[in-house]
Chains A and B, each alone.
Chain A
């Protein structure tokens, strides 16, 4: 079946540091890929998405590129802020079958001033 693997956290950074959160997936065909963010006490919200190979999703300074050859969708940001502290989830949606998405386990990011 489909699966999503994320790097384990927590990831702890100082403000203005470069961020990478790794995400790899296993799926039949070419799913759509998503990053969601969960702030404390809230539900998940969409951060960015990519629907086909080589697409780059971007939002709020975050970027991720759909890499078919390495089945990866790593999240990056050039300069993190304290307000970026949250849990980040990578997810895929298959383009067929039940269309039910699969989520990674989430990666906690802590940014210190």
Chain B
């Protein structure tokens, strides 16, 4: 009964380093999302995917890349980390065919600090 699993839970990077955040869901959901959460800013959508092999930009895509090679996995990459990318990152998933009626299922987040 895993739901949405994010790895790692915590990470500290130096400016300019790269990393990949992994999101895995076992609910056969079509849609997957990456959000960042910052104090006073709520949730901001970085990128999303409406199915295997597809990706699209959200509200704040700059500095991030994503891939959805398998339906169950959605990867978020930071090619050259910056202190402004210090945040808590959440992955979420939902059904596609009735997405408007389907709630999002969230992972427990990855806390990233860039020094």
A residues contacting B by CB (< 8 A) are 31-32, 34, 36, 41-46, 49, 51, 89, 93-96, 98-101, 103-106
Chain B proximity of A25: nearest CB distance (Å): 14
27 A-B interface contacts by CB (under 8 A): A31-B100, A36-B103, A36-B104, A42-B108, A42-B109, A43-B4, A43-B92, A43-B109, A44-B90, A44-B106, A45-B106, A46-B104, A49-B103, A89-B42, A89-B43, A93-B99, A93-B100, A99-B31, A99-B96, A99-B100, A100-B33, A100-B45, A103-B42, A104-B42, A105-B40, A105-B41, A106-B42
Contact of A101 among B40, B104, B107, B109 (CB under 8 A): B104
Chain A proximity of B46: nearest CB distance (Å): 12
B residues contacting A by CB (< 8 A) are 4, 31, 33, 40-43, 45, 48, 50, 56, 58, 90, 92, 96, 99-109
Closest Cβ neighbor of B45 among chain A residues = A100
The 4 closest A-B pairs by CB, nearest first: A43-B106, A105-B42, A99-B99, A46-B103
The residues of A that contact B40 with a CB separation of less than 8 Å are 105
The residues of B that contact A93 with a CB separation of less than 8 Å are 99-102
Whether B100 pairs with A32 at a CB distance below 8 angstroms is: yes
The residues of B that contact A96 with a CB separation of less than 8 Å are 100
Q: Within the assembled complex, what's the spacing in Å between the Cα atoms of A31 and B99?
A: 11
The residues of B that contact A89 with a CB separation of less than 8 Å are 42-43
Chain B proximity of A11: nearest CB distance (Å): 16
The residues of B that contact A32 with a CB separation of less than 8 Å are 100-101
The residues of B that contact A99 with a CB separation of less than 8 Å are 31, 96, 99-100
The residues of A that contact B106 with a CB separation of less than 8 Å are 43-45
Most chain A CB inside 10 Å of its own CB: which residue of B56, B90, B100: B100
